[in-house]
Structure 1
């Protein structure tokens, strides 16, 4: 079957008994079974045209010509802390082997300019950085990433025809790393593109990214969708993974399908060096569309909140608790007086469903809670002491990410100078009662109980998993721990039950985390 497009014939030679076209006049003919996998020469008029394999586009030119006028470069002038500026050395944001912010502000284009304010105060140095964005309406609204503009003093938008326009921030959302700008001093109309929520390309379908990598505005790159539902450590987004090359400066630019519809907003890359290695991440259109509409209408995003810190309840944790392969989210801490504490949720509860929908990870639970409106009733199905029960929590309003981060900045703990006498080690941990002096030294609140780790056997599983002197063991299995005897009894019960590990709650620096520790060896 062939189709007509700009004067050329596209497609494969059909028919089980049809031979492939001659290859570059060499006179060779291939069996039909092999022909389907070979590039083909198909004649349009008298000119031979190279046709890619079935399903691959002949060219992205038509798509680019149609959508590129709506994509803009965003140049930002901001004031930065000198320490933050020193961290902006090329490559440093990408040294860790984890998904990372792919833009983070391009390197300064000139030496930092400091000086003093009118009142004689030191002026923070300025920094020039760049990113990407795109118009979503004819009246000048632009979508980009929050990290591109969050510290901006001045924002200049550069269109495809090199027209420069000033813009202002309408709203920002740290939780999804999205921001909305609006052009100042010109009414438009502007070329714009639309988010596509209904038609979802499949893994393996072609995509095209347009943006401003390394300040090279109007750059198009192409690839495929590599995966959906990628969790890269952000709270509210299941990312699309693409292999279309994106680099510094692509932040905030659109990812298009082959019909020119926006399916995502480019945000991050996985890279050890700072350059593209073919693993990029985009915010899905349905998330971006919802957030940007809320920012335009009110400038602020409200999310549900239950006031509990949680972590993944892994398969290894489930085995330690004798719960098979149960997955979910385990409660580590509760905000004093928060919605969860008022509702009766407890540390160590394993949340396995919310409002009848199964929960497999802490990220799933956080996102579903965030979708609630303040005041909504959330029915949490939890496993406690081996039994399922339902706890109904009335959702609050989630604080900003900055407020949450400041609440987590508890003073760092240090090992007590004169710990109480420890008992014999249990699974590699020497424990002592938590006395008043140690509580003050470690900044442990009065309502936190546990047994103090005074030393760790470096050959033990506990040492391998990072436990150290000064940690507090608060729970083991389904019970609270106040002494080495408490931990020892739980370990012995696990051994008798034929389990190879025990789930232990560890309090450090104001937070509780759960770890499965081996009971043998």
Structure 2
């Protein structure tokens, strides 16, 4: 897999995400151009392009786009929020609820019809996240209510459904056959100005390591992707869908213009996520069931390895896929299914993109010698009830951190919910807390957190991050 360059890592994430407040277009677009006086007109310096060179017509994307654009829709979302003059102060909000006012936030994005018969529309999760109402506008001007089918925040894929006659859909191409240099075209609704087409080439495939974007296997392109393009189509010259436009990067922010660093989710990933969402409404992921850390120069020397890259296995959970495959602490995983693994984040990213039951061939170094192990991935747990771990946590539900937070450097587990009047609530736990450490044992994710309770400690203390504050909570 291609690794991100140092230049790319230095860039900050720009908001190319499709949800942005619908605001007026720049004044320059609103003001009509002033024609120059006839006397001041200058003769044209460049002749119009000919329609043909000899008997050969000039190439055009128009015939292909005539088939593509009817399948690309604009997505309009509305979210109702309560605004109080007391801000987020909970006491005053409760004392004076009559002073709160309802406000509707509106945002724009794009989507792609991928099944005309069923009316299925692919878009980004962040385009419809938190929306109370979603509608789509077709290329022919019809506006339709969209029903939510399901979404997966960690891959930023969402599926909607619309009911209408005469829909057009895009066929999904095999994105694994993409090569650097292939021509691509992006179609979407940037800045809400209407359907727009941009073109470029594939700059890279298999991009990962971009902060704050969940599980990653991006197509990188220099075709312009701007706010509002999110969820739109990236197509090949045959008019087949190869990716869902997702993000662009710019060190000066999203309003500074496109600099040719745009990313799309490949159809190979989008198709798998969509099929699971349509079938069950959720995505089930496979896991090896191990913990790992990065391999540095000191560890590489101690493990008799010349190259300081890979994920060093520090822990193998009992009953896991890794345990069944024979993986042991101290093993260094350098590749999975032929895909290069440079560090523990790359291994976690690989796991997160695999389905339950997938067969994975691991290239391992054990005592400096090469070894191949085959594992059948088992289901990655989504959450655990606190009472299953320790009675002192009764009433709390613990879940994995969103992957976009992990990509930004966060670690631990999320307190997903706390039942009112429960023991966990009495101990001070709140929904939204992040548990980053505990005296029950070390952990880095949900599986590790669960395994750390193999022996319940006499005194249980959780280190919690709540908002911007960190503190310790004793569990009674």
Question: If the length of structure 2 is used for normalisation, what is the TM-score?
Answer: 0.60
Q: State the partner residue of 2:150.
A: 171
**RMSD between superposed Cα atoms in Å:** 4.4
Partner residue, 1:133: 111
Look up the SS of the partner of 1:293 in the other structure. helix
Looking at structure 2, the residues matched to 295 and 342 of structure 1 have their Cα atoms a distance apart, in angstroms, of 29
Q: CA deviation at 1:192?
A: 1.2
Output the CA distance in 2 between the equivalents of 1:222 and 1:238: 21
Relative to structure 1, the CA distance from residue 67 to residue 322 in structure 2 (aligned partners, 3 Å threshold; closer, same or farther) is: same
Cα pair 1:236 1:363 within 8 Å, conserved? no
The verdict on how the C-alpha distance between 1:320 and 1:135 changes in structure 2, with shifts beyond 3 A counting, is same
TM-superposed CA distance for 1:133, in Å, is: 0.5
C-alpha separation between the residues in 2 aligned to 1:404 and 1:170?
A: 22
Counterpart Cα distance in 1 of 2:122 and 2:220: 20
CA contact (8 A) 2:361 2:375 kept: yes
Aligned counterpart, 1:270: 249
1:302 corresponds to: 284
Q: Quote how far apart the aligned CAs of 1:352 are.
A: 3.2
Q: 1 CA distance for matches of 2:131 and 2:46?
A: 60
Task: Report 1 or 2 for greater relative contact order, CA contacts < 8 Å, sequence distance ≥ 6.
Answer: 2
2:230 is the alignment partner of 1:251? yes
Whether the 8 Å CA contact 2:110–2:232 is kept in 1: the answer is yes
Residues 405-458 of structure 1, C-alpha deviations (whole Å, 9 max, x = no match): 1882589xxxxxxxxxxxxxxxxxxxxxxxxxxxxxx95524459xxxxxxxxx
Question: What is the correspondence of 1:272-351 to structure 2 with a 5 Å cutoff?
Answer: 272=251, 273-274=253-254, 275-313=257-295, 318=300, 321-325=303-307, 327-331=309-313, 349-351=331-333
Name the counterpart of 2:334. Answer: 352
User: Does 2:189 match 1:195?
Assistant: no
The 1:380–1:124 alpha-carbon spacing in structure 2 relative to 1, beyond 3 Å, is farther
Q: Residues 106-138 of structure 1: CA distance to partner in whole angstroms, max 9, x if unpaired?
A: xxxxxxxxx99xx97967753211110011122
- Once the two structures are TM-superposed, the CA of residue 178 in structure 1 deviates from its matched residue by 0.8
1:445 is aligned, of 439, 445, 462, to 439
Alignment of 1:65 with 2:47, yes or no, is: no
CA contact (8 A) 2:147 2:160 kept: yes
- 1:403 corresponds to: 399
Give a deviation string over 1:488-512, Cα, whole Å, max 9, x none.
xxxxxxxxxxxxxxxxxxxx999xx
CA distance in 2, matches of 1:318, 1:148: 43
User: Secondary structure in 1 aligned to 2:305?
Assistant: coil
Find the structure with the greater CA-based Rg.
1
- Aligned partner of 2:123 in structure 1 is 144
User: Where in structure 1 are there 5+ consecutive unaligned residues?
Assistant: 1-23, 27-38, 52-57, 87-114, 412-441, 450-507, 511-521
- After superposition, give the CA deviation of every residue in 1:71-116 in whole Å (9 maximum; x if it has no partner): 1000011246989xx9xxxxxxxxxxxxxxxxxxxxxxxxxxxx99
Aligned residue pairs total 344
Task: Judge conservation of contact 2:176–2:268 (CA < 8 Å) in 1.
Answer: no
In structure 2, the CA distance between the partners of 1:289 and 1:394, relative to structure 1 (3 Å rule), is closer
Q: Distance in 1 between matches of 2:295 and 2:200?
A: 35
Name the CA distance, whole Å, in 2 between partners of 1:207 and 1:389: 40
TM-fit CA distance, 1:195: 1.0
Report the secondary structure of 2:179's partner residue.
coil
Residues 379 and 219 (structure 1), Cα distance of their counterparts in 2 relative to 1, 3 Å cut: closer
